[in-house]
A and B are shown apart, each in its own frame.
Chain A
Amino acid sequence: MAEKIPIYYLGKKHLVPEGVTIMSAIEYSGHRLIRGCGCRGGFCGACATVYRVPGNHQIKVGLACQTRVEEGMDIAILPYYPAQKKISDFKPGDDPVPVLNKMYPEMFRCLGCGACTKICPQDLAVMDYIAEAQRGNLDAVAEMSFDCVMCGLCASRCLAQMVPYNIAMAARRFYAAVFLPRPDYVKGRIAEVKEGRYDKEIDSLVSRPKEELQKLYETRDIECI
């Protein structure tokens, strides 16, 4: 068994095995999580955690399911953080800046403090993508914010009181729905299916005995990598 180190969860001391994640350590200390845990794999953002370590004045953050315990750390998992979301309102032909401005005018009040970027557990350049959003560069916002798990930490720190992750969400959807290519073959295939182009072929498979299917399957041609 690994060495035990002390941690403080909600101010109470527990001895936990070295090297485990914050989430495992909290569970090891006897707490069964309801809030603060979703996917356990670093995807969902349910487990945004703030902590401090001895001898350091700085506030640190991480996802509890992805971050290893440190000796003496003082931990709280954020159960919930209130956020505003505006109803999406964009269509082809719309200019990005007025659309985003109408949805989230507070976006232009960014003070440039960088607290959002500093706190992001996904290491996203939050402040910079907000700057791109102000300029209407949706593709840049989409790329820069893509790994966002919407944990809420940026919103908890923003001096201009905006909810950066919802602004990024709107920008990504706007970008994808309106500006990404739409290959014609997708529409074409849907039409073919509707017209019944594949019905006969597929019905012949639906009713085929296993042995025949197996022969077809094993001799089917496979596209090269």
Chain B
Amino acid sequence: MPYPPHFDAALESVAATRNFRKGQEIKRLSDEERTALIADYHPDYRSEGMAPLALGANKGGRVPVELKKMLEAYSLFQPLNINLTEPDYTTDILVVGGGGAGCAAALTANDLGARVLMVTKLRLGDANTLMAEGGICSAVRPEDNPYMHYLDTIGGGHYTNIPELVKALVMDGPEIASWLMDMGVMFDYEEDGSLKVNHCGGHSRKRMLSCKDLTGLELMRVMRDELRDREIPYLEFTPVADLLLDEDGRCAGAVLYNMETGEFNIIKAKAVILASGGIGRLHIQGFPTTNHYGATADGLAVAYRAGAELIHMDSIQYHPTGTVWPEQLLGQLITEVMRGHGAHLVNVEGNRFINELECRDTCASACIRECTKNELGIKTPTGMEGVWLDTPLIPDIQKHFVGIYQRFKKYDIDIQHEPILVFPTQHYQNGGLAINPQAETSVKMLYAAGEVAGGIQGKNRLAGNSLLDIFVYGRRAARSAFEQLKSVETNGNLTAGHLLKWQESLQELGVPKEQQSPIFLPDYTPAGKG
């Protein structure tokens, strides 16, 4: 049984218009049209979803209400009760997070000769990085150049990106591609030995390098293998529960939480690189998510109480094509590259409603408009709604998209002949900790890299730019931490004074004691769902 009979009529309409649509041109929106569409339909613009912060470096700034709860929260332990005089671990550079940014930072710090320890929440590599399907953008081809990459990135980000951060991103891009090749990443090639490149939303050149449709898996397992080759120490299931400062206000360590024994441990370090990834598992506005199990905004929470500044934290990326049916795959990503290969977005009447190569926020807003105001969505028997991604338009789909083809086949849906029902899914945190091109945050000796950092992508990230960003800034963070290390002879004593102060401010604001963070993992048990 493929789709249940409920979908028959909608499936017939999409098949009936397929031939006509093949030759149909849909014009891209003008800047005004795009701005209006986003303002009317993008979830970031729903006023009830956002609230101003009551304290901290971004006091008054608006953030999603689910994030506000994490930022305005107490530590998991009583700051007065922890013993900071006998650290359980000491190192030069502490890397927080075992995803792509963290591995890039740890490997680069190791290249330089620094003593590194990595701590991560789940297993090494259980991270958003590993889930990336599409690919990584880098302007390496002769037909392309960093100038065009810059223009695409800043235009896609609606000119909100920090220019110097974009410059570093596009200029380091080629070196990153080469670094990954040297490590033994199996990129895709054409017969003639040139790199295979894909088109994807918002980019004016074909510049996405891929490893079939499992780019992140390949990148992650190669980096993990290299980390093990070099015997860089790492602790799994040991997330950071708070950051520690020294008496001069420099970041100088962390409180670790052992998820299996419930113990807290202290680590002293000369520099900390936060690479703890995103926020998807907070389920902003109830959206499903593409993110891994541990994407719970821990890094933002601990850095914010240590005094770090945030940027663009009112901006979340919803990927236009998250799976709606079957429900077991709810929220899971259908890569952009499918639209790059010609799959249309189609409503219940079989009509297209947007140029599929528009940026993500634009496509996502158009899908939401189709299902709300236009009432042209396709309803599921369980009360969800979506639009079709017309996959049968892609020749040889079972070859180019093996992973996705197989995933649907398990549910008896053959995407060679039937479209996929999709709706926007929470995908990426556009904003994050404010950094400069050296990956420094506003707290001394605290660096941030990867999805936890903001400003690089502006308020709308282009496809393939995040995988680049995590390596560029992971490597930059390690280099600048190492440079700065030389000037930090010994740090002063560790203190948790900032946590005590934070606690007092929360009490004054009347924040209930139970409001603690980080949460580390979402709770999907019936008790946790409430």
Whether the Cβ atoms of A177 and B182 lie closer than 8 Å is yes
> Which of these binds chain A: B56-64, B204-212, B445-453, B488-496?
B204-212
Partner of B217, one of A149, A183, A188, A221: A149
A188 to B182, CA, bound (A): 16
Q: Does B526 contact A (CB under 8 A)?
A: yes
Q: Which residues of A contact B454 (CB under 8 A)?
A: none
Segment at the B interface, from A52-60, A105-113, A208-216: A208-216
Given the known inter-chain contacts A27-B525, A183-B195, please indicate yes or no for A150 contacting B293, CB distance below 8 A: no
Among A85, A176, A186, which residue has its beta carbon within 8 angstroms of that of B140?
A: A186
A213 and B155 in contact (CB under 8 A), knowing A173-B183, A187-B178?
yes
Does B307 make an interface contact (CB < 8 A)? no
A198–B122 alpha-carbon span in the complex (Å): 41
Contact assessment for B525 and A32 in the assembled complex, using a CB-CB cutoff below 8 Å: yes
Which chain A residues lie closer than 8 Å to B526 at the CB level?
A: 28, 30
Instruction: State whether the Cβ of B12 lies closer than 8 Å to any Cβ in chain A.
Output: no
| B184: interface (CB < 8 Å) | yes
- Count of chain A to chain B residue pairs whose CB atoms are closer than 8 Å in the complex: 195
Q: Out of A21, A39, A190, which one reaches B292, CB within 8 Å? A: A39
Given A32-B521, A173-B184; A183-B193 close (CB under 8 Å): yes
Compute how far the CA of A35 lies from the CA of B293 in the bound complex, rounded to whole angstroms: 11
A10 close to B (CB within 8 Å): no
Contacts of B260 in A (CB 8 A): 34-35
Interface residues of B, count at CB 8 A: 83
Q: Does B216 contact A (CB under 8 A)?
A: yes
Q: Does A161 belong to the interface (CB within 8 Å)?
A: no
A35 to B237, CA, bound (A): 9
Q: Does B332 contact A (CB under 8 A)?
A: yes
B175–A202 CB distance below 8 A: no
Chain A 151-164 against B: per-residue CB contact (8 Å), 1 yes, 0 no? 00000000000000
Question: In the complex, what's the smallest C-beta–C-beta distance from B284 to chain A, in angstroms?
Answer: 17
Report if A220 contacts B (CB, 8 A): yes
Q: Is B181 an interface residue (CB 8 A)?
A: yes
Nearest CB of chain A from residue B501's CB, rounded to whole Å: 32
Quote the shortest CB–CB distance from A39 to chain B (angstroms): 5
Q: Hey, which chain A residues are within 8 Å of B148, CB to CB?
A: 220
**Alpha-carbon distance between A214 and B212 when the two chains are bound, in angstroms:** 34
Q: Return A82 CB to nearest CB of chain B, in Å.
A: 14
Cα distance A220–B140 when bound, in Å? Answer: 19
Does A142 lie at the interface of the complex (its beta carbon under 8 Å from any beta carbon of B)? yes
Complex Cα spacing A94 to B215, Å: 27
Q: B146 and A202: CB pair below 8 A?
A: yes
Whether A21 and B328, one on each chain, are in contact in the complex, defined by CB atoms closer than 8 angstroms, is yes
Known A38-B293, A39-B126, A220-B204; contact A176-B186, beta-carbon cutoff 8 A: yes
CB distance from A200 to the nearest CB of B (A): 10
A3 at the interface (CB under 8 A from B): no
B260 shortest CB reach to chain A, Å: 7
- In the assembled complex, B342 has its CB within 8 A of some CB on chain A: yes
B286: chain A residues at CB < 8 Å are none
Contacts of B407 in A (CB 8 A): 42, 66
B143 contact set on A, CB distance < 8 A: 223
Q: Hey, what's the 0/1 contact readout for B314-340 against A, CB within 8 Å counting as 1?
A: 000000000000011000110000001
* A202 adjacent to B147 (CB under 8 Å): yes
**A186: nearest chain-B partner, CB-CB:** B140
Asked if B131 is at the interface (CB within 8 A of a chain A CB), the reply is yes
**A149–B403 CA distance with the chains assembled, in angstroms:** 12
Residues from chain A with a CB closer than 8 A to the CB of B226 are 88
In the complex, which residues of chain B have a beta carbon less than 8 angstroms from the beta carbon of A40? 292-293
| Cβ < 8 Å to A, chain B residues 229-281 | 229, 237, 259-260
Contact A38 B292 (CB under 8 A): yes
Q: Which residues of A contact B403 (CB under 8 A)?
A: 42, 147
Closest to A183 in B: B194
Q: Does any Cβ of A come within 8 Å of B31's Cβ?
A: yes
Contact with B along A169-205 (1 / 0, CB 8 A): 1001111110011110111111001000010011101
- Given the known interface contacts A38-B126, A38-B292, the answer about A43 and B159 at a Cβ–Cβ threshold of 8 Å is no
CB proximity to B under 8 Å, residues A37-51: 37-44, 46
| Residues of the A chain whose Cβ atoms lie less than 8 Å from the Cβ of B218 | 146
When distances are taken between beta carbons in the complex, the residues of chain B under 8 Å from A31 are 525
Interface membership of A19, Cβ < 8 A: yes
What's the minimum C-beta distance from B101 to chain A, rounded to whole angstroms? 17
List chain A residues, Cβ under 8 A from B229.
Answer: 87-88
- Contact indicator per residue, chain B 510-530, by CB within 8 Å of chain A (1) or not (0): 000000000001011111100
Any A CB within 8 A of the CB of B50: no
Question: B333 contacts which chain A residues (CB < 8 A)?
Answer: 41
- Check A206/B163 contact, CB under 8 A, given A27-B524, A32-B523, A223-B205: yes
With contacts A202-B167, A218-B31 known, is A223 near B154, CB below 8 A? no
Q: Tell me which of A30, A177, A180 contacts B527 (CB under 8 A).
A: A30
**B184 and A217 form a contact (CB under 8 A):** no
Given A173-B222, A177-B184, A217-B155: A189 in contact with B174 (beta carbons within 8 A): yes
Whether the pair B402, A186 counts as a contact (CB closer than 8 A) is: no
Q: Check if B130 sits within 8 Å of A39, measured CB to CB.
A: yes
Q: CB < 8 Å: which of A37, A150, A187, A225 contacts B342?
A: A225
Q: Given A175-B186, A183-B140, 7 other A-B contacts at CB below 8 A?
A: A19-B327, A30-B525, A32-B521, A172-B222, A176-B222, A189-B139, A223-B199
A-B contact pairs, 27 of them (CB 8 A): A28-B525, A38-B123, A38-B130, A41-B333, A44-B123, A46-B123, A142-B186, A176-B185, A183-B140, A183-B193, A185-B140, A185-B194, A186-B140, A186-B177, A186-B181, A189-B139, A193-B174, A193-B175, A198-B146, A202-B171, A203-B167, A205-B147, A206-B163, A214-B31, A218-B155, A220-B204, A223-B205
B-side interface residues toward A, CB under 8 Å?
A: 30-31, 122-123, 125-126, 130-131, 139-143, 145-148, 150-152, 154-155, 159, 163-164, 166-167, 170-171, 174-175, 177-178, 181-187, 189, 193-195, 199, 204-206, 212, 214, 216-218, 221-222, 225-226, 228-229, 237, 259-260, 290, 292-294, 327-328, 332-333, 340, 342, 402-403, 407, 410, 521, 523-528
